[in-house]
Chain A
């Protein structure tokens, strides 16, 4: 038996069910819509419907063997994520890009190099570091360190991040976008080299879970269907 955590609601759950169904693995809910019970037909899999945001934590702790969630959440929330989990399949849906965007009227800022130069000027003129609103602290910090951007600060924003610039609580944002429509509506423009991570729904295997002969056999059976 292996435990598999999948998103408990919305399009992400539907698409996950469809993805497995297309590979001959039928998932179905038991009970009503409000009940989080679920099962897999004819497979030694203990299916658990969970909040997509909690699946990275459960994978990292080894409390589930497998989990479906966005690669952005795994990379943001699990330190040294590639040591803790392994990618079994990129599932081809739930696409979203984590990007850096600045006010569209900043006609002199196109690249990270511009952003860095403006951050230095901004600190000298305004007396504090240029604020970037995000909930992806680790990914953004690592990305900006690699790019050699200094004199910025991250402001935590757990929602409506695109609005922070107009509200005066940040100068720039780092957030996920799929079509860019919300960014445009909020008068923000993506930096040309500002793509931090291309996220999609991904099936992960926890390296730290308890892998017995029987759970390995169950994984083998599952992987046969996924091929």
Chain B
């Protein structure tokens, strides 16, 4: 059994690398409402919920990102670099034996000047902090996925639906198949549109029952318009959809990723600006001293677990498959908008799990 004090000592040693950052503390109790609005109900199976008589439902912080962003948006100076060290709390699956509280050491950069350099800076620092350990680095780019959706030649409503479910691969695939026409429209949809056309929406509603609940007849009328537009929209081109699907499964060395992405951009020209940014980031990584030849690029990396990242993402993994990563991080510009109350700032950060680092050092000693 490793002593908690040993892990804390490891964490404090690691934190020395973030000397340029301002050390910050964050509250352990976070408003459940904020987290639920960001992550949805699923957060209830991942975070511990408790109750405060004055503030209502609270959660033990599942990470620092949300409280640190809130603190910065409430009046932090710009640009800012923060570091923090403290416990986070995660509910685990019954019987998994995974820790429910552990230290997280983090580094967050809020800087408008040069986002790609900031991406490289965070990654290079995390990499350097774990210098000498047998780690594998994996990177991804949610920005490329979002750009590929945006580049599709289709309606804004479909793009919005795909963007909304980019985090849920199965649902995303079902939507895409629906939009290409590979799978027919939902059962009963055509009947509904026909009945609404022939009898009028008001008559259909009157027959069905009293208008209970907060949804309004205007809401139904607006959706009827959207369903009509959807039924009339041309299917997404099969080649474009194929590009998107193969892009999602792309796994190559980072040094080969740019040329692979350029090939995708031939069939999906709208992707080009995102690919150029991607290539510039690789240059920035090289300039920051990162050996890009040894790094893997997986286009879908972080797609299922890291719901607030919307750009560059990374993970530094130890030699044991299935173990949690030693470090993870990424860009979360949209999160600052959601929590910023009308303001936003480009932001990128990463966390190290000192107990994983400590365990790896012990195993090698």
State the A residues within 8 Å of B (CB): 79-80, 83-84, 103-108, 110-111, 113-114, 116-118, 120-122, 125-126, 129, 137-138, 141, 144-145, 147-148, 150-154, 165-166, 168, 170-172, 187, 189, 192
Contact, CB under 8 Å: A166 / B188:
no
- Report the separation of the CA atoms of residues A162 and B196 in the bound assembly, to the nearest whole angstrom: 28
Contact, CB under 8 Å: A171 / B213:
yes
- Report the separation of the CA atoms of residues A116 and B187 in the bound assembly, to the nearest whole angstrom: 16
Q: List 13 A-B contacts (CB under 8 A).
A: A79-B94, A83-B95, A105-B205, A107-B205, A110-B187, A110-B192, A120-B161, A121-B226, A138-B45, A141-B44, A148-B171, A150-B164, A192-B187
- Report the separation of the CA atoms of residues A108 and B170 in the bound assembly, to the nearest whole angstrom: 23
- Report the separation of the CA atoms of residues A118 and B201 in the bound assembly, to the nearest whole angstrom: 17
Segment touching A, from B14-22, B141-149, B214-222, B244-252: B214-222
Rounded to whole Å, the gap between the CB of A56 and the closest CB of chain B is 13
- Report the separation of the CA atoms of residues A107 and B201 in the bound assembly, to the nearest whole angstrom: 9
Kindly name the residue among B37, B94, B210, B212 whose own CB sees the greatest number of chain A CB atoms within 10 A: B212
Contact, CB under 8 Å: B94 / A83:
yes
Across-interface contacts of B222 in A (CB, < 8 A): 121, 125
User: Interface residue count for B (Cβ, 8 Å)?
Assistant: 40
Chain B: CB-nearest residue to A171: B213
- Report the separation of the CA atoms of residues A148 and B224 in the bound assembly, to the nearest whole angstrom: 22
Q: Is B36 in contact with chain A by the CB < 8 A criterion?
A: yes
Across-interface contacts of B213 in A (CB, < 8 A): 103, 165-166, 168, 170-172
Q: Is B52 in contact with chain A by the CB < 8 A criterion?
A: no
Partner of A107, one of B95, B208, B214: B208
- Report the separation of the CA atoms of residues A189 and B36 in the bound assembly, to the nearest whole angstrom: 27
Rounded to whole Å, the gap between the CB of A49 and the closest CB of chain B is 28
Across-interface contacts of A104 in B (CB, < 8 A): 208-209
Residues facing A in B34-77 (CB within 8 A) are: 36-37, 40-42, 44-45
Chain B: CB-nearest residue to A145: B42
Scan B135-176; emit 1 where CB is below 8 A from any A CB, else 0.
Answer: 000000000000000000000000001001100101100100
Contact, CB under 8 Å: A117 / B223:
yes
